[in-house]
Amino acid sequence: MCGIVGYVGPQDALDVVLEGLRRLEYRGYDSAGVAVRVGNGASGELASAKKAGKLANLEKVLADQPLPSSTIGIGHTRWATHGGPTDRNAHPHLSADGRVAVIHNGIIENFAALRTECEKRGIEFSSETDTEVVAHLLAAAYDEAPAGVDRFAEAMRAVCRRLEGAFTLVATHADEPDTVVAARRNSPLVVGVGETADGTPEYFLGSDVAAFIAHTREARELGQDQVVEIDRARGLTVTDFSGAPAEPKAYTVDWDAAAAEKGGYDWFMLKEIAEQPRAVADTLLGRLGEHGELVLDEVRLSDQELRDIDKVFVVACGTAYHAGLIAKYAIEHWTRIPVEVEVASEFRYRDPVLDRSTLVVVISQSGETMDTLMALRHAKDQKARVLAICNANGSTIPRESDAVLYTHAGPEVAVASTKGFTTQVVACYLVGLFLAQVRGLKYEDEVAAIVEDLRALPDKVAEVLEQMEPVRALGRSLADANTILFLGRHVAFPVALEGALKLKELAYIHAEGFAAGELKHGPIALIDQGTPVIVVVPSPRSRESVHGKVVSNIQEVRARGARTIVIAEEGDEDVVPYADHVIRVPRTPTLLAPVVTTVPLQVLACEIADTRGYDVDQPRNLAKSVTVE
């Protein structure tokens, strides 16, 4: 959620930090701030600036009142949890003596008790945040820590042992001329390791690798409950909260800074919609072995363990939840294993029945979604097997799962997910096929045939994208609508839900997705003269009765004054007499159709939002990665 950047090296720290914050703007935020350590020798000073609103507001402050040059700095974009989005609640937060600066992502659950403790010591707080508590505790712990090369790290460890909740902390100290320390629990943090053109080492911290990708692709993965100390001379040292040494996992980021630029599009979202053919192709790349068998990324489960599975839960949030609903149709059809799809935030609180024969599939684009992570940990506590579908290599959810399938979608900057969704759907198909293969329900030639159908999807998505100008024009004509309804049956029902979610996220229009068969059970009362109703029609080559019923649903809403917008495959003429607008998609096997039918809904939502004058990439109140419960 919040964006975090830290730097130790020979470059001007403020330039590096601000650049990193710009690359993290997609995460969603409502204020921004920076701090640098200045001065020579062991006793220096901290200089900071922060401002509510967009990063441009902070940059204006810095233009009017520049900070001194420094080679150590930290920066933050905040999404408010404790305290409103004001200047004084923005990060960094300083200790009472001004010697410690802290930035924080997450929530300190026991902050109230800790704040009371600080206030009893005479400390006056200048903000409403839980973060400021850490700054005061860290200053006190530093004064109490024994002198030595890791004094600051020891102070951080002592503080972390007292904190409850989810947090990433990054701090700098006026008395530490070469050091930044950071810690993580249940919240993302990665370290970048690079060097300048003359070979001088430099180190970066970030909420994700986008913060430093312009400087290095070499990253270090921090584990749960670990502290990292970055020192100019000694490099990086990682320990757990008790001080025991830990070895971070090294990995190389496989995309570069250009991948996170708009590439000539007006919005990142438009670029990412256009990247879907390549993203789907990359997700499928290398999935068949030399004998035609399906191959996944990291499966730390034996074939026998997978054969023993008698129940599958798919757990996710938001768009990923809709991908999970589609997964249910495919997995049950191919494996005959019962599947339940659960909202991650509700999963562990209803006490689901789990055991060693249960497979829990967790879906998260970032790999750091807090609700999904907590559901994963609950499943592991109950001895269930966990398989993750994720786009972020090295993130927490894949690390803590028994198996992982990476979507290889590349960086997704826009808050509203597009290529993240379609690649998650494809990954769910692969999981279903893999289970069917391992359990002997699909022969290799059958798996290979379905994979060939999957491999045809990138070209079909590209074909849809080439025909989107009429959809954009339609979007402009719908921009004044107050309500838009979406209908679908079978796998088209989750597509309807996803289309409605995109419209709510981007255009702030009341939008609802319904199973078309539920119309007469209440939702049809919402239809008024001119109400736009978007209907995703299943293939007439699927179960004929379902297709015919949906065509009847179109007639029902049109008879009540609806403006009918129909997404139908090429050659389906049954819908034409009852549709005010028809959006055509290529013929696709029924189970795989959501990958192509979702794309026009993405374009439509983007165009409506743009016409209404809204920020498509950063919708209000939303963040890219939800890392608090």
**241, 260, 279 — which closes off a domain?**
260
Mean pLDDT of 269-278: 94
Q: Which of 50, 502, 504, 624 is labelled catalytic? A: 624
Same domain, 252 and 321: no
Phi (first) and psi of residue 166, to 5 degrees: -115, 130
Q: Is 621 inside any structural domain?
A: no
Task: Examine the pLDDT at 28 and tell me if it is beyond 80.
Answer: no
Same domain, 465 and 608: yes
Indicate the number of domains in the chain.
Answer: 3
pLDDT of residue 107: 84
Amino acid 350 reads R
Phi (first) and psi of residue 394, to 5 degrees: 85, 0
Same domain, 379 and 393: yes
pLDDT of residue 572: 93
pLDDT of residue 433: 95
pLDDT of residue 41: 72
Q: Is 577 inside any structural domain?
A: yes
pLDDT of residue 29: 81
**260, 281, 305 — which closes off a domain?**
260
Q: Which helix (H) or strand (E) holds 117?
A: helix 111-120
pLDDT of residue 258: 72
SS (H, E, C) 496-521: HHHHHHHHHHHHCCEEEEEEHHHHHH
Q: Which of 2, 160, 317, 390 is labelled catalytic? A: 2
pTM for this one?
Answer: 0.78
Q: Is 271 inside any structural domain?
A: yes
SS3 call for 310: coil
Q: Which helix (H) or strand (E) holds 106?
A: strand 100-108
Confirm whether 428 is a catalytic residue. no
Q: Is 623 inside any structural domain?
A: no
Q: Where are the beta strands (DSSP E) in 292-413?
A: 298-299, 311-316, 339-343, 358-364, 385-390, 403-406
Q: Is 471 inside any structural domain?
A: yes
pLDDT band at 148 (very low <50, low <70, confident <90, very high): confident
pLDDT band at 544 (very low <50, low <70, confident <90, very high): low
Whole-angstrom distance, CA of residue 524 vs CA of residue 527: 6
Q: Is 622 inside any structural domain?
A: no
Mean pLDDT of 136-148: 95
Same domain, 269 and 128: no
Instruction: Give the residue from 95, 103, 148, 82 showing the smallest Cα distance to 125.
Output: 95
Q: In terms of pLDDT, which residue wins out, 294 or 78? A: 78
Task: Identify the CATH number of the domain in which residue 386 sits.
Answer: 3.40.50.10490
| Listed range (357-371, 400-414, 419-433, 474-488) with the worst mean pLDDT | 400-414
Task: Identify the CATH number of the domain in which residue 86 sits.
Answer: 3.60.20.10
Same domain, 311 and 387: yes
Whole-angstrom distance, CA of residue 280 vs CA of residue 420: 9
Q: Is 629 inside any structural domain?
A: no
Mean pLDDT of the chain, nearest integer? 93
Mean pLDDT of 353-360: 96
Phi (first) and psi of residue 177, to 5 degrees: -70, -15
Residue ranges making up the domain that contains 181: 3-260
Tell me the CB-side half-sphere exposure of residue 102, using CA atoms within 13 A: 30
pLDDT of residue 72: 97
Task: Examine the pLDDT at 543 and tell me if it is beyond 70.
Answer: no
Same domain, 500 and 425: no
Same domain, 280 and 220: no
Convert the pLDDT of each residue in 43-57 to its tens digit.
899 999 999 999 999
**227, 260, 293 — which closes off a domain?**
260
**Is residue 342 within 8 Å of residue 315, measured between CB atoms?**
yes
Cα dihedral angle (563, 568, 570, 572), rounded to 10 degrees? -80
